[in-house]
């Protein structure tokens, strides 16, 4: 497994699944999305080594939270597996798309 796959696909997907386990309400998902987007903007003050592994995790939190807002507004009584599937689906799609764009130079 290449380092691109770990950095750009696995870390965001794991972060989105962890977020889906913890969050049960759409308002908490909205707060997590705002917090993750705020942390993206302080990337410039992070050391390069920390930014390589922390930024994809924050990116996974943001994507998972965006998917959870929609899923929990649509069906507020989702169980844990439904929340994880919603968060993982969007995060995996965007992460793989980003990896394909980076590696092929689209």
Residue 1 has pLDDT above 70, yes or no: no
Residue 14 has pLDDT above 80, yes or no: yes
- Each residue of 89-103: pLDDT tens digit? 999 999 988 888 888
Tokens (6 digits) for 87 = 């968060």
Residue 54 has pLDDT above 70, yes or no: yes
Q: What is the C-alpha to C-alpha distance for residues 90 and 98, in angstroms, rounded to an integer?
A: 12
Q: What is the C-alpha to C-alpha distance for residues 48 and 46, in angstroms, rounded to an integer?
A: 6
* DSSP conformation class of 10: I
Give the chain's mean pLDDT.
88
Q: What is the C-alpha to C-alpha distance for residues 64 and 12, in angstroms, rounded to an integer?
A: 9
Residue 6 has pLDDT above 90, yes or no: no
Q: Cβ distance 99 to 8 under 8 Å?
A: yes
- The pTM of this model reads 0.87
* DSSP conformation class of 7: I
Name, in order, each residue with C-beta under 8 angstroms of 48's C-beta and a sequence gap of 6 or more: none
Q: Cβ distance 15 to 105 under 8 Å?
A: no
């Amino acid at each position: 497994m290449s380092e691109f796959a770990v950095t750009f696909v696995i870390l965001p997907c794991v972060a989105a699944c962890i977020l889906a386990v913890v969050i049960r309400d759409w308002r908490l998902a909205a707060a997590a999305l705002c917090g993750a987007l705020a942390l993206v903007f302080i990337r410039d003050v992070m050391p390069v080594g920390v930014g390589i592994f922390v930024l994809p995790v924050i990116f996974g939190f943001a994507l998972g939270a965006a998917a959870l807002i929609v899923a929990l507004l649509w069906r507020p009584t989702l169980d844990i597996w439904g929340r994880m599937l919603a968060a993982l689906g969007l995060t995996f799609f965007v992460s793989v798309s980003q990896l394909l764009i980076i590696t092929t130079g689209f």
